[in-house]
Amino acid sequence: MVGRIGVALLWPLALAFLFIGFNKNDPYLISLRGTGNMLLAAIGAAVAIVLIFRGHWQRRAGKVLVLLWCLAPLSILAAHLRFEMRKQDVLHTEASTAHRLGRHFVVGYSSFDEVAKLAESGLIAGIYVTRHNLKGGNAEALRSEIAALQARRVAANLPPLIVAADQEGGIVSHLAPVLTELPALSTLTDLPIDLRDRMAEEYGRIHGRELAMLGVNLNFAPVLDLKPAGKLTRFDLNTLIGRRAISGDPTKVAGVALPYIRGLGLSGVGATVKHFPGLGRVRGDTHHFSADLETPLDELEASDWRPFRQALAGSRAMLMVGHVRLAAVDPDRAASHSKKVIDGIIRGKWNHQGVIITDDLVMGAIYQHDVCTAVVEALNAGVDLLLVAFDGAQFYRIFSCASEAARQSRLDPAMLDASDARLGRPSLRQAKRMANRAE
């Protein structure tokens, strides 16, 4: 009886192993890559051998079960080969195409050697660094690594890399405790205005000074979403905007954000205001699911969007656009790749000509749908930078989407030219200065 139950359990397990094998490159399975995949392949082969030795190959159902377990390691190998073929295709992109498209990508990474190839070939515009890049909490190692990457850009006669981090303060401080752990900016909102302004600027100074010492030149902060009155959904596992937002009062949000941005800039670190069109009223977590913002536009303009407009008018901060669907404008696609939102509202109605970056394209609201369509639509809408942060290995797939669209003339040359103008072309002298400062 025990043996029969054990064999019966092997059927769903075999299907689970097959599913994992065919989807080994999915971001949700990132923890299984490398050693995990090798272990799964070894288990699959071992189970198949045991089944054969126990005589299951002699029965028709047994043959099927053995074959399923044999397919598990083969599926992992096939997925790995597909990934490597796509990776090599990207790495061998013709130089002019690499430079033309690469200036629109900011990527997270784990391997220095791998990201160095992308940096010196012009396939990326920047990198995103976070806790796992500190390698045991060694700030000096990360500083040297960033300096080495910038030096390679100089040698390749390419603009300096954007080096971005997520150091908001509070629960999102991805380079702390190596950097100073500061409370959330929301702790400043009830201070007297003069003190609040000084403290917010000092927060920015501290973040800016410490990030610049590492070689980081762009911070994905501050958060300008309005704080919700209560938790909107029990399934919000990652966004947690109620704990990250500055305030539910648009005036207070702008009042804290602007001096903070000013403080960052004193050390040469740029700010990124996020996550337009706002997450404070959204009931879904775009890290995993699609989500809609159904508030009327006049209400958003009068409240949620005021801090964004004030911060953009009063600074040179980038604007990060999130993956919620703005129902009143474009209910069919996320704001991050909606031409009606990017070109219609931000560029058109607001006349904002600063740099726009997407939230992470590896988030479920985009990646688990048609990520290729999102990439092409974002570039054609007037987005300047595409962020691939959580799982940098997805860059190869995402870049392939853009490259294929370019081959098929599906990218709007006028939009790319306008984006190039917004991004600018820093001189070689600037690149050398940034590399020297990071050393």
Please tell me which residue in 275, 287, 323, 337 is annotated as part of the active site: 287
What is the spatial distance between Cα 334 and Cα 327, in angstroms, rounded to a whole number?
9
Beta bridge partners of 106: 126, 387
Report the sign of the C-alpha dihedral through residues 424, 428, 433, 439, in that order.
positive
In angstroms, the Cα distances linking 391 to 39, 100, 160, 404 are: 21, 23, 23, 21
- Structure tokens, 291: 């989500």
Give the integer Cα–Cα distance in Å for 273 and 290.
21
Out of 197, 225, 359, 360, pick the active-site residue.
359
249 and 177 Cβ atoms separated by less than 8 Å: no
Q: For this structure, is 287 an active site residue?
A: yes
Q: How far is CA 351 from each of CA 260, 309, 311, 315, 346, rounded to the nearest angstrom?
A: 24, 10, 14, 15, 6
359 included as an active-site residue:
yes
Q: What are the structure tokens assigned to 177, written together?
A: 């405790």
List Cβ neighbours of 61 (8 Å cut-off, separation of 6 or more): none
Catalytic annotation, residues: 287, 359
